[in-house]
Amino acid sequence: MNKKNDNNNDINEIVYKILKEIKKGKRPTGSDFGITTSTFNEIVTYEIIQPRLVDNANSVPGGNGNGITGVLIKDARVNANGESYLSYWSKTYE
């Protein structure tokens, strides 16, 4: 079963699309996918950075329980784990 975010969007699809944009050398934002900046930051942090699907990316914690205040993906590159993710989901989202 696919995970959904608070807007009922398929998180796996959003992750897939974010990785595709990063692979193209672009710097996606939440508005590219119709989600808030906060939701985008959480997806990138917990679904892309922590599982190590990209290299050269970091998240900026807000402190005092304020969640993630930003993500640094300007120089991010999809790594072998990310390529495996893209390959796995390509038949579903292409």
> Given this model, what pLDDT does residue 8 score?
47
- pTM for the complete prediction? 0.86
Domains of the chain: total: 1
- 10-residue averages of pLDDT along the chain (94 residues): 55 96 96 94 96 96 82 96 97 90
Structural domain contains residue 2: no
Structural domain contains residue 80: yes
CATH number of the domain within which 38 lies: 1.10.10
Structural domain contains residue 52: yes
Range of the domain at 36: 11-93
Instruction: Give the CA-trace dihedral at 52, 4, 14, 90, to 10 degrees.
Output: 80
How many CA within 13 A on the CB side of residue 28? 23
The H or E element that residue 20 is part of is helix 11-23
Structural domain contains residue 1: no
